[in-house]
Amino acid sequence: MAAHDLVIRNGTVVDGTGAPRREADVAVDGGRIVAVGDVEGRGRRELEADGLLVTPGWVDVHTHYDGQATWDPQLTPSSWHGVTTVVMGNCGVGFAPVAPDRHEWLVALMEGVEDIPGTALHEGITWEWESFPEYLDALGRTPKAIDLAAQVPHAALRGYVMGDRGAEHAELPTPDEIDRMGRLAAEAIEAGALGFTTSRTIAHRSVDGRPTPSLTATADELLGIARAVGATGKGVFQAVADLVDVDVEFALLRAMAEVSGRPLSITTLQRAEQSPDAYRRLLELIAAAAADGLEVRGQVASRPVGLVLSLEGRLHPLVASPTYQAMAERPLSERVAELRRPEVRERVLGELADPATDIVGRLGPTFAFGDEPRYDPRPADRLDLAAAYDALLADEGRGVLYVPIMNFTDGDLAAVREMLVHPRTVPGLGDAGAHCTMICDASFPTHLLQYWGRDVAEDQRLGVEWVVARQAAATAALVGLGDRGTLQVGKRADVNLIDLDALTLHNPEMRYDLPAGGKRLVQRVDGYRATIVAGEVVRADGEDTGALPGQLVRGARPA
The range of the structural domain enclosing residue 540 comes to 4-57+491-544
What CATH code is carried by the domain that includes residue 299? 3.20.20.140
Let me know whether 523 and 390 are in one domain.
Answer: no
The secondary structure of residue 333, as a DSSP letter, is H
Tens digit of each residue's pLDDT, the chain (559 residues)? 578 999 999 999 999 999 999 999 999 999 999 999 999 989 999 999 999 999 999 999 999 999 999 999 999 999 999 999 999 999 999 999 999 999 999 999 999 999 999 999 999 999 999 999 999 999 999 999 999 999 999 999 999 999 999 999 999 999 999 999 999 999 999 999 999 999 999 999 999 999 999 999 999 999 999 999 999 999 999 999 999 999 999 999 999 999 999 999 999 999 988 888 999 999 999 999 999 999 999 999 999 999 999 999 989 999 999 999 999 999 999 999 999 999 999 999 999 988 887 888 888 899 999 888 999 999 999 999 999 999 999 999 999 999 999 999 999 999 999 999 999 999 999 999 999 999 999 999 999 999 999 999 999 999 999 999 999 999 999 999 999 999 999 999 999 999 999 999 999 999 999 999 999 999 999 999 999 999 999 999 999 999 999 999 999 998 8
Q: Is 40 left (phi over 0), alpha (psi -120 to 50) or beta?
A: alpha
Cα–Cα distance between 270 and 413 in angstroms, integer? 10
Let me know whether 22 and 161 are in one domain.
Answer: no
Q: Which of 349, 373, 406 is the last residue of a domain?
A: 406
Question: Is the distance from CB of 482 to CB of 556 less than 8 angstroms?
Answer: yes
Let me know whether 239 and 373 are in one domain.
Answer: no
CA angle 43, 48, 52 (to 5 degrees): 135
| 3-state SS class at 307 | strand
Question: Is the distance from CB of 497 to CB of 11 less than 8 angstroms?
Answer: yes
| 3-state SS class at 137 | helix
**Over the range 83-98, which residues count as b (16 or more CB within 10 Å of their CB) and which as e?**
bbbbbbbbbbbbbbbb
The secondary structure of residue 13, as a DSSP letter, is E
Let me know whether 233 and 362 are in one domain.
Answer: no
Q: Which strands form 305-309's sheet, in the order they lie side by side? A: 305-309, 401-406, 367-368
Q: Which of 428, 463, 478 is the last residue of a domain?
A: 428
Q: Dihedral sign, CA of 544, 519, 449, 533?
A: negative
Let me know whether 272 and 138 are in one domain.
Answer: yes
Count Cβ atoms within 10 A of the Cβ of residue 479 and give its class: 0-12 exposed, 13-18 middle, 19 or more buried: buried
Q: How many CA atoms lie within 13 A of 150 on its CB side?
A: 33
Let me know whether 282 and 319 are in one domain.
Answer: no
Q: Which one, of 478, 546, 532, lies nearest residue 56 by Cα?
A: 532
Torsion of CA 395, 440, 59, 497, to 10 degrees: 10
Q: Which one, of 48, 55, 67, 161, lies nearest residue 109 by Cα?
A: 67
pLDDT of residue 394: 95
Alpha helices in 317-459 (DSSP H): 322-325, 332-339, 342-351, 359-363, 385-392, 394-397, 414-421, 444-447
Let me know whether 529 and 383 are in one domain.
Answer: no
Let me know whether 134 and 202 are in one domain.
Answer: yes
Let me know whether 361 and 213 are in one domain.
Answer: no
Let me know whether 227 and 95 are in one domain.
Answer: yes
pLDDT of residue 272: 82
Is 440 a member of any domain?
no
Count Cβ atoms within 10 A of the Cβ of residue 279 and give its class: 0-12 exposed, 13-18 middle, 19 or more buried: buried
Let me know whether 216 and 164 are in one domain.
Answer: yes
Torsion of CA 515, 516, 522, 527, to 10 degrees: 50
Total count of domains within the chain? 3
